[in-house]
Amino acid sequence: MSPTKEFSLAPFDLVLFGGTGDLAMRKLLPAMYFRHYEEQLPDDGRIICVARSAMSTEEFKQEMERTVRQHVESMYDETAWASFCDRILYLSIDITDQAQYQQLVEVLGEVPDRVRVFYLSTAPGLFSRICDGVAKAGLVTENSRVALEKPLGRDLASAVAINDELAEVFTEAQIYRIDHYLGKETVQNLMALRFGNYLFEPIWRREHISDIQITIAEQLGVESRAGYYDHTGAMRDMVQNHLLQLLVILAMEPPVSIHPDAVRDEKIKILRSLKPLSGRDVLDSTVRGQYSDGTVNGKPVIAYRDSDGVAPNSFTETFVALKAEIDSWRWQGVPFFLRTGKSLQDRRTEIVINFRSVPHSIFDMPRVPNRLIIRLQPEEIIKFQIFAKGRGDEMRLQSVDLDLDFNQAFKKRQMIAYERLLLDIIRGNQTLFNHRDEVTAAWGWIDPIIQSWEQYQVEPIPYAAGTWGPPASSALIAKHNCGWLEECP
Ligand code: BG6
């Protein structure tokens, strides 16, 4: 099997710490399989899964058959699956025992010059132990990279500490901080839309845009992740990373090139120009919610507090809505409304850009704005709502959509975000990964909000599962004469 030229990659060893974990089984290994199936991986590419469970490589492959296979059904092929499994090795290592890293030394030492990726799909508390372990074992070569899953810390201080510890072992150019939203095609398409078309740039500013909404709504609840989620909450789990990354890509100035440093420089500027929210202002500009029992998709859902592993008196928020503002010439006065929640009515990640309405309507109709709606999931759609005269004698205007449906426009299959991200790490392209300064700036904005919630003892407002969150979320946006998309005519 030889990789197609366009995608040719150097031989690599991908070491997955947390190799038996949920992310590895559901996303990382399937992502690598898809690219293997499409013959985009070099023959000399190994995937070394590392975890504590005592198991042989053969037993691990049987486990993959039970777990990973169901996630690759759409492209399952017996021969491809068998040759993919040939790439896999499993090592049982207790990462807190330095002597056990010797197993990695032996395996990686067989091909010392390869690109080596240490992918840390573990709890953040283990990041520095693993970095220290691979460094002490002499495993970090010039060709090595480390990839880390979010959340990077739980506040500014812990994020700085983790980054300092990483910096003792790896250079910034070797560190790949993952926000899987950046690997989604439609997120990259936001940049294509903004910087590949002349049309939008002149109107992409305060003079023409009245407000921007970004929603990441999930129907899933806490599921089996209470151990992580109950001391994390929606603000740290979703807002600090995914939502802020979407905001930044929407708001950044055009970078001078697509070079990773040029793009990151512009992103950091936006994070640093977010208007600080602290003290009592937080009470006016944010809403915390927590789901109580209800019905999602026709199925009963138990309250967050009654879920396995969640403290019965938990104050963790499963919903956040907030108003952010950017202090810059381009965006002064334009509210960015962000919201995310679990066990909501619909699964939808969507950006809505509301343009200003016509200053005076000569038609017999309310002044409704043109809207650009960018839906990232479940479908990938961009639509522009304009007004046109409906058929008939009367001059009656109707809203019509100029639609771009990616499934119809492009023949290629929809990729999962991790495919692109994993290959970029192996290639050494950092464009879609966060620089330490971005992480620091994002926590620097989030920390005072969380502190203020603590200071004023802001308890999450209950909302029934299967709704759009607490009514306070609608009230927050209504104060600015706006409404969430589903509430608008
Ligand atoms: C993860 C969060 O980063 O993103 C999860 O930890 C959330 O809580 C998930 O469910 C959502 O990702 P996606 O790609 O399904 O929208």
pLDDT in tens, 124-164: 889 999 999 999 999 999 999 999 988 888 999 999 999 99
* pLDDT at 185 exceeding the cut of 90: no
Order of strands, sheet of 209-217, starting from the edge strand that comes earlier in the sequence: 397-405, 381-389, 371-377, 348-355, 209-217, 336-341, 319-324, 286-292, 461-464
| End-to-end alpha carbon distance in the chain | 55
d(CA 452, CA 291): 22
Pairing, β 294-296 against β 286-292: unpaired
* The pLDDT value given to residue 189: 87
Give the DSSP per-residue string, 238-290: IIIIIIHHHHHHHHPPPPSSSSHHHHHHHHHHHHHTBPP--TTHHHHHEEEEE
pLDDT at 4 over 50: no
Catalytic residue among 242, 259, 360, 435: 242
Residue 99 and residue 93 in contact, taking contact as beta carbons nearer than 8 Å: no
- How far is Cα 32 from Cα 422, in angstroms, rounded to an integer? 8
**pLDDT > 60? residue 116:** yes
* 181 Cα–ligand 1 center, Å: 9
Q: What is the mean pLDDT of residues 8-22?
A: 94
Strand order in the sheet with 144-148: 88-92, 45-51, 12-17, 115-120, 144-148, 175-177
Question: Where residue 7 falls among pLDDT bands split at 50, 70, 90?
Answer: low
Instruction: Find out whether the beta carbon of 350 lies less than 6 Å from any atom of ligand 1.
Output: no
Phi and psi at 418, nearest 5°, equal: -70, -20
Q: Give the tens place of pLDDT for each residue, 255-312.
A: 999 888 999 999 999 999 999 999 999 999 999 999 999 999 999 999 999 999 999 9
Ligand 1 center–CA 209 separation, angstroms = 29
The number of the ligand 1 atom at minimal distance from the alpha carbon of 225 is: 8
The crossing angle, in degrees rounded to 10, of helices 127-136 and 156-169 is 10
Query: For position 489, what pLDDT does the model report?
Result: 67
Residues of the chain with pLDDT > 90, as a percent, come to 80
- Can you tell me which atom of ligand 1 is nearest the CA of 241? 3
- Ligand 1 centre distance from Cα of residue 438 (Å): 20
Ligand 1 centroid to residue 183 C-alpha, Å: 13
Return the residue whose CA atom lies nearest to atom 2 of ligand 1: 237
Separation in Å, CA 328 to CA 211, 271, 331, 333 = 15, 11, 5, 9
Question: Quick one: pLDDT at residue 137?
Answer: 97
- CATH class of this structure's domain 182-414+443-487: alpha beta
Closest ligand 1 atom number to CA of residue 216? 16
**Among 180, 236, 239, residue to substitute to test ligand 1 (most atoms within 8 Å of Cβ):** 180
Instruction: Report CA-CA distances (Å) from 78 to 42, 75, 82, 83, 98.
Output: 19, 10, 6, 9, 39
Confidence of residue 369 (pLDDT cuts 50, 70, 90): confident
Q: How far is ligand 1, taken at its centre, from the CA of residue 392, in Å?
A: 47
Atom of ligand 1 at shortest range from CA of 220: 10
* Ramachandran quadrant class, 147 (left: phi over 0; alpha: psi -120 to 50; beta: rest): beta
Rounded average pLDDT over 368-373 = 89
Band of pLDDT at residue 367, cut at 50, 70 and 90: confident
- Taking residues 235-239, what's their average pLDDT? 97
Residue 360 reports pLDDT greater than 90? no
Q: In the predicted model, what is the mean pLDDT of residues 361-377?
A: 85
Q: Which of 27, 237, 346 maximizes ligand 1 atoms within 8 Å of its Cβ, making it the mutation to test the pocket?
A: 237
Is any ligand 1 atom within 6 A of the Cβ of residue 237?
yes
pLDDT tens for residues 394-429? 888 888 888 888 777 777 788 889 999 999 999 999
Q: Is 195 exposed, middle or buried (0-12, 13-18, 19+ CB in 10 A)?
A: middle
* Residue 218 CB–ligand 1 contact under 6 Å: yes
Higher pLDDT, residue 293 or 392 = 293
In the reported structure, the alpha carbon of residue 220 is separated from the centroid of ligand 1 by a whole-number distance in angstroms of 10
Burial of 34 (0-12, 13-18, 19+ CB in 10 A): buried
Return the best residue to mutate from 229, 230, 232, 238 for the ligand 1 pocket (most ligand atoms within 8 A of CB).
238
Q: Which CATH class is domain 12-149?
A: alpha beta
Which pLDDT does position 411 carry in this prediction? Answer: 74
Q: What is the average pLDDT value for the chain, to the nearest integer?
A: 93
pLDDT digits (tens, 9 = 90+) for 426-476: 999 999 999 999 999 999 999 999 999 999 999 999 999 999 999 999 999
Q: Give the whole-angstrom CA distance, residue 454 versus residue 462.
A: 18
Tell me which amino acid residue 141 is: T
179 lines ligand 1 (CB under 6 A): no
pLDDT value, residue 53: 95
How many angstroms separate the CA atoms of 210 and 446, rounded? 24
User: What whole-number percentage of the chain has pLDDT above 70?
Assistant: 98
pLDDT at 380: 87
Burial class (CB in 10 A: 0-12, 13-18, 19+), 127: buried
Note if 36 is an active site residue: no
The answer on pLDDT for 205 being more than 90 is: yes
Tell me which residue of 112, 119, 114 sits closest to 32, measured CA to CA.
119
Return the domain boundaries, the chain: 12-149, 182-414+443-487
Output the six-digit token pair for 466: 């299967």
Sequence length of the chain is 489
Q: Report pLDDT digits (tens) over 41-75.
A: 999 999 999 999 999 999 999 999 999 999 999 99
Which residues on adjacent β-strands are paired with residue 292?
A: 464
Residue 361, amino acid: S
